[in-house]
Amino acid sequence: MAEFHVSHGILPALDMDSLDEMARVVEATTRIDGVVGYKLGLTATLRLGLEGAVKLLRAVTDRPLIYDHQKAGPDVPDMAAKFAATCRAAGVDGLILFPVAGPRAVREFVGHAIKNQLLPLVGGDLPLPDYNVSGGGFIADDALERIFMLALEIGAQHFVVPANRPEKVRRHAEALKRALARPSLFLPGIGPLGGSISATFAQAPGCNLYAVVGRAIYGAPDPAEAAKQLADEAAGFA
């Protein structure tokens, strides 16, 4: 199962439109020490298929590739085994899972990821103001806590928490540390969505912390320099 080579770093999100640009950004950043892997989404997979997208990226990096199905897990639980096996065959190293469809979805999607030697990164919350009921959305405010507690029982150790809500990061980090010696948190929402590494990482001492960063890297004039600055900032909390 995939491992990350540093305790604090960044996971660039490859959400750009151009496949050539995607490969160029990965090639430019893959040797930066704090870049722990890449988040692969639907932009490339809809064009190339998952196996083709993995092949494109494997030509320029050996860092872990985490597939974000935007978001896997809300589906009916019976799809979990097929989904995990397909992703394993395509060559990805881990999956971002948002199993908000209920306890069976958590058990099946997280369980089958582990069974297929794919690292599950478990979430259920987006860095949007109107996602939870308290903000006018549809997802219960305590959904993420319940998902995490069940995922822990199954064996998950890596979790996704929105970075633009530092109080959420602190609350979830404290709860997860009561169950794990050193949980790993992946933190989307850095940059244009309002989060920052300094404000967010400070909320979770004793955790492995990874900023999930897209536009702030691939939209920068020099993606390698942008990635290095962010990775260095993250390393300062190790």
What are the structural domain ranges in the chain? Answer: 8-235
- Does residue 45 carry a pLDDT above 70? yes
pLDDT tens, 130-150?
999 999 999 999 999 999 999
CA distances from 130 to 1, 48, 127, 134 (A): 35, 33, 9, 8
pLDDT-derived band at 4 (thresholds 50, 70, 90) equals very high
Question: Can you give the pLDDT at residue 127?
Answer: 85
DSSP annotation of 207 reads S
Question: Can you give the pLDDT at residue 221?
Answer: 96
pLDDT tens, 89-115?
999 999 999 999 999 999 999 999 999
d(CA 1, CA 10) in angstroms, rounded, equals 19
Mean pLDDT of 28-33: 97
State whether CATH 3.20.20.70 applies to domain 8-235: yes
Question: Can you give the pLDDT at residue 191?
Answer: 74
- Does residue 193 carry a pLDDT above 70? no
d(CA 170, CA 203) in angstroms, rounded, equals 5
